[in-house]
Structure 1
Amino acid sequence: MRGPGHFPALAAVLAVVAACTSQPPEVAGPAAEGPAPGESRYQHAQDGAPLRHIEPEDVADAVPRPDPILSAGNKSPYTVNGVTYQVLDDHSDYRARGIASWYGIKFDGHETSNGERYDLYQASAAHKTLPIPCYARVTNLDNGKSVVVRVNDRGPFHSERLIDLSYAAAVKLGYMETGTARVEVEVIDVAGVDDRRGSTAGDYRFLQLGAYSSPDKARNLQDALQALLASPVFISEVQSGESLLYRVRVGPMTAAGELQSVQQQLRTAGYDAGQPLP
């Protein structure tokens, strides 16, 4: 998709693989509308580096985690510019060498192929055939520098290029100024990844009913929900700044229609229907 001035616009790619992209729950309005005829959806006509430059030591590796592989962004096969691509069924042993490019301000803040938001200061990447999301270690073969990236986008749709890295990842590998580099890409196999690309149960298997700074409030809600529902109710802790948040969640729900049934039970009992999560 990308690289400074070298790849087709992301809009064209997403239009071709529209079935791949999940729509985030954003408020409708002028910002959510498409561009007028003849206009680009991007603020910047040309890609490039941001005004705020960073150093390699400022770039943190992506942290591999067992993110589920959903249908969003993984339509297969798909066709771009007359070329058909097949997303890999098994990518655990993937290793390849080729040319890496990078993309920057033109795409910053826009949706990736699986509906996430591209942040040029994070270590991420676009790849034509790896399932998304997944994680890979990318090594610059000319200087030995490496970075761990989260692959969450499609591209680059140039036959001679293997992978497109974020601005931050290119800085860490030392090729931001040259534009391209010879790299090796090796997938990081993460245990516990749930591949639900063909699941009849749908992409969402959990509901979040609340997030509290007080563990007692979270436990009270957990007890009340568990008395109401047959599905498991649990508390998931997450660090938020300097404190912990206690998230009350229902699931996993694996049967088709189970999540919708639970939401109806919650509404009937006077609760919010909850936030669906993968």
Structure 2
Amino acid sequence: MASAAVVGALLVGGGVGAVQLAGARGPETTVEITTAPTTSAPAPSPTGAAPPSPTATPQRASRGNARATESSPSPSRTTPKATTSPKAAAEVVTGTGTCGASFYDEPQATANGERFDPEALTAAHKTWAFDTRVRVTNPDNGKSVIVRINDRGPYIDGRCIDLSRAAFRAIASLDLGHVDVRYEILK
């Protein structure tokens, strides 16, 4: 009976080896398997299952609320909210100070010609340029809001800024009527 030899290639742990099989009467053979490191992507799993996807873990939100573990936020109606988060690095502060702040909520024309919206985050100041952005912070509770100057005023001693109702509500209770604030003029 003639000896038959079968040569096959094996894929073993990412390496390739050759094996020669011989019949019982054939000469003794040596089997050598060599492995070479691979630099390509890992081989697919034998079960054919997809690799597990990354999972989101809850983390602290900048405003003290736990973040949802969803991969994308669901759309919702936004309402003005005060922030206690650190200042954004991109915002340049060009001036600071402290003064009294009050609010107004009667619809009227503003000094720059816009119709006043009490639910917009806007404010009035006697001299700051229109469209100046100002961060107003209530030092009693740390809440702050960024407003846009679109009107002139206030004309009451001890106050330097009039906030819209929404902006004031974001940093203090409307029942207070006025509070002392810290302001930062943003570039």
- What TM-score results when the alignment is normalised by the length of structure 1? 0.34
Post-superposition Cα deviations, 1:93-147, rounded to whole Å, max 9, x if no partner, equal 221101100001x2x2x21101011100111000011111211100001110000
Q: How many residue pairs get matched?
A: 100
Quote the Cα distance in structure 1 between the aligned partners of 2:101 and 2:155: 12
Q: Give the equivalent residue in structure 1 for 2:114.
A: 116
| Gaps in structure 2 of 5+ consecutive residues | 1-77, 83-92
Quote the Cα distance in structure 1 between the aligned partners of 2:111 and 2:132: 13
RMSD between aligned residues: 1.7
TM superposition shift of 1:58: 2.1
Matched residue type, 1:101: S
**Shift in CA distance, 99/175, structure 1 to aligned 2, threshold 3 Å:** farther
Post-superposition Cα deviations, 1:4-37, rounded to whole Å, max 9, x if no partner, equal xxxxxxxxxxxxxxxxxxxxxxxxxxxxxxxxxx
Give matches, 1:74-93, under 5 Å.
93=94
Quote the Cα distance in structure 1 between the aligned partners of 2:81 and 2:181: 19
Structure 1 vs Structure 2: percent identity of aligned residues?
A: 41
Quote the Cα distance in structure 2 between the aligned partners of 1:180 and 1:141: 13
Q: Give the equivalent residue in structure 1 for 2:99.
A: 98
Partner-residue secondary structure (3-state), 1:177? helix
Matched residue type, 1:94: G
Q: Which runs of 4+ in 1 moved over 6 A?
A: none
TM superposition shift of 1:59: 0.9
Quote the Cα distance in structure 2 between the aligned partners of 1:173 and 1:149: 12
| Gaps in structure 1 of 5+ consecutive residues | 1-56, 62-91, 190-278
TM superposition shift of 1:176: 1.2
Q: Give the equivalent residue in structure 1 for 2:56.
A: none
Rg larger in structure:
2
Matched residue type, 2:104: Y
Higher helix share: 1
Give matches, 1:161-200, under 5 Å.
161-189=159-187
Give matches, 1:30-109, under 5 Å.
58-59=79-80, 93-104=94-105, 106=106, 108=107
